[in-house]
Structure 1
Amino acid sequence: MTGYIPTDEEIAVMVRDLEKNDPENANPVYARHMLVKMKLMYRDLGRIDEALLLKEMEEFKKDSESA
């Protein structure tokens, strides 16, 4: 796999987010798979287009600061 193993805390946070945004999939198994897939997606994005990855990171940062 990826070497990335989501912690119980990360999974719990993802489950809480899923409870709001995707209640049908709000469970630890789905949350774990989603976290791993997200990590792989951003890793691949960085390999394909580093500038786009940096842009996405900046957008995330802005969204986090405004929340």
Structure 2
Amino acid sequence: MAIKPITGMIRRSVVLDLSVALGLGTAAGYAWWYGYHVPSVRHRDAFYQKIEDDRAAALGKQ
């Protein structure tokens, strides 16, 4: 009873695993960057801009 060679199966599964991992990792990275990081930075920048505007207004009134 002969056993079929397994050549190519491991290579295909490794390529598939790597492609799926890189694709999902990239998608998760974009989701985190544009879903959490960018809005957080905008919120922080708006907070500091408001502080600067208040300080400039207070200095302008004196």
> Do the structures match in fold with TM over 0.5?
no
> Quick check: which has more Rg, 1 or 2?
2
TM-score when scaled to structure 1? Answer: 0.34
TM-score when scaled to structure 2? Answer: 0.37
Higher relative contact order (CA 8 A, sep 6+): 1
